[in-house]
Structure 1
Amino acid sequence: MAASDMTASLRRLGLTPTEAEVWLRLLEDGHRTVEELAHRTGRTPDEVKRTAERLIERGLAATGCPDHACLAPVEPTLALDQLSHARAAELQQARLAAANAYRDHRRAVHRQTAGDLVEVVSGPRIADRIRQFEGAAEHEIVRFDSPPYHTRGSANPLEIRNLARGVGYRVVYSAAAVQNAAYYAANIQPCIAAGEQARVLTTVPVKLTVFDKRLAIVSMSSVETEANDSLLLVHPSSLLSALLGFFESSWRSAYPMHLGDQIPPTLRPTHRRILELLGTGVTDDTIAQLLGISRRTLSRHLAQLYQRTGATNRFQLALHAAHKGWI
């Protein structure tokens, strides 16, 4: 890890910039006197001495050398665990304080009971709120995905980062989303490759995203967006439970967009992509566009798949792939 990254990590644990710099210098140099550390870091001896005392208190350093005139790093696991726990406790206190402050605010402005369950967000705040909720997710995000998009249908690096840190994603796409070649290439395919569980329906009943089963956002349809660019925030309630149940029933009936565990390792990458797209309901022309190949080339690939599976049409090919556990 680069020194700048390590410094940032230590600061997140509660060390000051000076403490992080002096401790990293000790790791690099070993035993050093206060004067030597001051010279190496460009700080005054008094400042380094105070920093050394704090590092000793934190359990990250100890006096070294026979005459105890120098400082040395010590094995940091216990000290860093204590710093981590202390930092987590501070963050939890801050979270509770912020939540209490917001509840006080809502009481102060005399929100109605229904207003505590459903909020309306409109205009330029929409994209920011979506990113805030998605960045704060801890367990799972489920979504009905259909145009139009408040994020302009661009790539979603936040989802890829969330997947990398263990947040699960289940997304049911509408055929209209999959048929958009630019959106498929920039958003759908990279997210599936990163671990998103994706399925498709001809249409989705509503534009919906649910974060950790605690908060849902419901966006307007294409027609409604033209008249009122807004979304609804649904807090824990029977309405949120109903939306989750709606998603689960749609998820069970949707068609998977990714391959199964039994896919033959000898199957060519292009043939894998074709199988992923066959069940989405898109046309051959759309598949060719999404793969960046000509219609004739797609026909040649399909003929090769038919020959391999004994199928004579797309329907038989899809049945064979499902029976063999390829999809």
Structure 2
Amino acid sequence: MRSVADVVEVVLDEVAVRDRVQRMMRNARREFLALVTPPFRVIAVEDAGRTPVHVSGANRTVYDRRVLEVPGIAELMRLHAQPGEDWRVHERVPMKLIVVDREIAVLSAVQADIGPPATMVVHRSSLLEALVGYFQFVWSEAVPLPFRQAPAGDHTSILPPEDQRLLALMLAGLPDRAIATHLGIGHRSVQRRVRQLMDLAGVSTRAQLGWQAHKHGWLTEDDDKAS
């Protein structure tokens, strides 16, 4: 019979946690699932938008909306996006979680701003299956982000990249001023471009614009295939 120690390890040392996470990301082959939320004490914020590039199956990450409010992070995510990645954003992601190949998971047990970060490493078990199930639930409630690289020759969206990024940030729930900061444009320019997109879609509200954007494939393709 397996003991609790065979299923769950508790790691307190920040360096050990960082090394474990990086090793898991390097070793991911079939599937990579992650929930990303502040604060970024063990993994730097600039590394939060990076996922393994050699995963043959699902490569899915859900970001807390507050991550996108970090100046420059949205552009950094866009620059590091790789084909096959699927990213979504949720209003509030309650914990940090990484699951690799459904063989092993790492999750934070204590908020890092309260005290020394305690991290649990969970091996294959019913607990690991429950964590995968929880990830699937959060994923189903999250909004797609179109920062990933489209496959070569994919020209399905009629929108230029800057308008796709604007829509993504708007659907992620960022206020107009935060969107303006991310895109390096003025607040009024954001409002004007949103109005132009609404006119293009033939709608009168931003909620309707988001629905039409998904309907017409203005963001990314196949966002719902992995749900």
Give TM-score, length-normalised by structure 1.
0.59
Aligned to 1:249: 137
In the alignment, the residues of structure 2 paired with residue 156 and residue 242 of structure 1 have an alpha-carbon distance, to the nearest angstrom, of 23
Q: Deviations over 1:290-325 (max 9, x none)?
A: 112111221221122122112223122112212323
Partner of 2:225: none
Runs of at least 5 residues in structure 2 that lack an aligned partner in the other structure: 220-227
Gaps of 5+ in 1: 1-111
CA distance in 2, matches of 1:171, 1:213: 15
The Cα of 1:184 is off from its aligned counterpart by: 2.6
Q: Which residue of 1 is the match for residue 27 of structure 2?
A: 136
**For residues 230 and 238 of structure 1, do their structure 2 counterparts lie closer, same or farther at Cα, with a shift above 3 Å needed?**
same
Partner Cα distance (1:207, 1:311) in 2: 37
Partner secondary structure for residue 35 of structure 2: strand
Shift of the 145–298 alpha-carbon distance from structure 1 to 2, 3 Å rule, reads: same
Q: Is residue 143–residue 170 contact of structure 1 (8 Å, CA) maintained in 2?
A: yes
Q: Does 1:306 align with 2:194?
A: no
User: Deviations for 1:242-281, whole angstroms, at most 9, x for unmatched residues?
Assistant: 0001111221221111289998544222211112222111
Q: Match for residue 177 of structure 2?
A: 285
State how far apart, in whole Å, the 2-side matches of 1:214 and 1:300 are. Answer: 48
What is the CA-CA distance between 1:217 and the residue it aligns to?
A: 0.3
Deviation at 1:165, TM superposition (A): 6.3
Indicate if the aligned counterparts of 1:200 and 1:254 stay in contact, CA closer than 8 A.
yes
Matching of residues 1-327 of structure 1 within 5 Å: 113-123=3-13, 124-149=15-40, 150-155=42-47, 159=51, 162-163=52-53, 166=56, 168-186=58-76, 188-222=77-111, 224-258=112-146, 265-327=157-219
User: Which amino acid is the alignment partner of residue 215 of structure 1?
Assistant: I
Structure 1 residue 157, shift from structure 2 partner: 9.2
Percent identity between the two aligned chains: 29
Which residue identity lines up with residue 151 of structure 1 in the other structure? Answer: I
Which residue of structure 2 aligns with residue 28 of structure 1?
none
Q: Using the alignment, how far apart are the partners of 2:71 and 2:86 within structure 1?
A: 19
State the alpha-carbon separation in 2 of the partners of residues 265 and 243 from structure 1. 35
Shift, 1:200, TM fit: 1.1
Deviations 1:20-66 (A, max 9, x none): xxxxxxxxxxxxxxxxxxxxxxxxxxxxxxxxxxxxxxxxxxxxxxx
User: What CA deviation, in whole Å up to 9, does each residue of 1:109-132 have, x standing for no partner?
Assistant: xxx811111111122211111111
Deviates more, 1:265-274 or 1:238-247: 265-274
Tell me if the contact between 1:192 and 1:258 (Cα under 8 Å) persists in the aligned partners.
no
Structure showing greater relative contact order (alpha-carbon pairs closer than 8 Å, 6 or more residues apart):
2
Contact 2:146 / 2:164 at 8 angstroms: preserved in 1? no
The DSSP-based 3-state class of the residue aligned with 1:204 is coil
- Describe the SS at the equivalent of 1:227: coil
Whether the aligned pair in 2 keeps the contact of 1:200 and 1:257 (CA below 8 Å) is yes
Aligned length, in residue pairs:
212
Q: What is the TM-score normalised by the length of structure 2? A: 0.82
Aligned to 2:223: none
Distance 1:178 1:264, change over 3 A: same
Secondary structure of residue in 2 paired with 1:281 = coil
* Secondary structure at the counterpart of residue 143 of structure 1: strand
Q: Which protein is richer in helix relative to its size? A: 1
Return the offset for 1:202. Answer: 0.4
Question: Which residue identity is paired with 2:133?
Answer: G
Deviation at 1:176, TM superposition (A): 0.8
TM superposition outliers: structure 1 runs of 4+ over 6 Å:
259-263
Q: Which has the larger radius of gyration?
A: 1
- The secondary structure found in structure 2 opposite 1:320 is helix
2:157·2:218 contact (CA, 8 Å) conserved in 1?
A: no
